Amino acid sequence: MIKTDNLFNQLYSKKVMEHFKNPKNMGEIKDADGVATVGNPICGDVMKFYIKVGKKGGSEIISDVKFQTLGCGAAIATSSMITTLVKGQPLEKAEKVTKQVIAEALGGLPPVKMHCSVLADEGLKKAIKNYRQRNRKT
């Protein structure tokens, strides 16, 4: 029998394992200002992001952010990490978070798992886009 903890520890950084085992900001925001779902049909990962937007010093900021992810450890870890990176940040700064920033913040990802950081990046940006579409001035 293979000990999976040892295998995971060889593949993933300590930070990835921390965010996988104890994800931050997991859940749903019932009255979210922006919502988006992204997925990868090849690996089966699905991520849903919720954002609340507030005002601070004349800027729109992400006052709260949550996620629900069905997927592998890297998918959960990247979802968790992006939420910690953007919570409390202006929308413009949150939109500058890239797949590489997420991966680096996690101490790296195996090349075969970089698609998880791509999904997290796309999901957050789509939630921001959804917020802007809902709040377009007519």
- Identify the active-site residue in 116, 119, 124, 128: 116
- Assign residue 27 a region (left: φ > 0; alpha: ψ between -120 and 50; beta: otherwise): left
Cα–Cα distances in angstroms (integers) from residue 8 to residues 11, 20, 59, 89, 100, in the given order? 5, 11, 41, 32, 21
Residue 116 designated active-site: yes
Is 72 labeled as catalytic in the residue annotation?
Answer: no
Determine which one of 11, 26, 43, 101 is catalytic: 43
Q: How far apart are CA 44 and CA 63, in angstroms?
A: 30
Question: DSSP states of 53-81 as a string?
Answer: EEEETTEEEEEEEEEEEES-HHHHHHHHH
Taking alpha carbons only, the member of 83, 75, 80 closest to residue 116 is 75
Q: Please choose, from the candidates 60, 123, 66, the residue with its C-alpha nearest in 3D space to the C-alpha of residue 93.
A: 60
Catalytic amino acids?
43, 116
